[in-house]
């Protein structure tokens, strides 16, 4: 089912979870994850992690992978090796946002997470 947005672009002011995304035939493969942060205000941070599930009910006690904490707009990429998690069939994004300093204490972020099967990327690059 990849390439696909694990989380289409949204604007958030608090922690949350995205919808579950079925991996389809990308189960067990190497996946390139792209976090795009499109909107931010000063003195805040965003933590984004990817969680996996076999059945959509149990999501485990720790994420499959997490982006390093972010403070700025930009595009960031990490790899997720689903071969290490062969039974995972569903993915979802989880995030938390913090703000400190003067003014409104509520954070504000615009961001998205996109997933691509690395096999497809490598085939396209070699063509």
Tens of pLDDT along 110-120?
999 999 998 76
pLDDT in tens, the chain (127 residues): 689 999 999 999 999 999 999 999 889 999 999 999 999 998 999 999 999 999 999 999 999 999 999 999 999 999 999 999 999 999 999 999 999 977 778 899 999 999 999 876 555 666 6
Looking at residue 121, what is its pLDDT? 59
**How is the beta sheet containing 74-81 ordered, strand by strand?**
4-12, 109-117, 30-40, 74-81
Residue 29 has a CB neighbour count (10 Å cut-off) of: 16
Question: What percent of the chain has a predicted confidence (pLDDT) above 70?
Answer: 93
Going along the chain from its start, the domains and CATH numbers come out as 4-114 (2.60.120)
Angstrom distance (rounded) from CA 112 to CA 74: 11
Which residue's entry shows tokens 């941070």? Answer: 45
- Please name the helix (run of DSSP H) or strand (run of DSSP E) that holds residue 119, with its range, or none: helix 118-126
Looking at residue 31, what is its pLDDT? 96
Looking at residue 10, what is its pLDDT? 97
Looking at residue 2, what is its pLDDT? 80
Q: How far apart are the first and last CA of the chain?
A: 22
Looking at residue 109, what is its pLDDT? 97
CA proximity to 6, closest of 25, 21, 16: 21
């Amino acid at each position: 089912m990849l390439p696909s947005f694990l989380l289409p672009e949204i604007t958030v002011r608090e922690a949350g979870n995205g919808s579950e995304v079925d991996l389809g035939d990308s189960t067990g493969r190497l996946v390139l994850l792209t976090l795009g942060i499109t909107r931010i205000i000063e003195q805040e941070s965003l933590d984004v992690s990817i969680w996996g599930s076999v059945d959509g009910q149990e999501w485990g006690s720790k994420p499959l992978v997490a982006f390093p904490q972010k403070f700025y707009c930009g595009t960031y990429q990490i790899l997720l090796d689903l071969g290490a998690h062969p039974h995972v069939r569903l993915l979802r994004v989880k995030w938390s946002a913090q703000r400190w300093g003067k003014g409104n204490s509520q954070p504000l972020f615009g961001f998205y997470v996109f997933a691509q099967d690395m096999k497809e990327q490598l085939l396209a690059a070699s063509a």
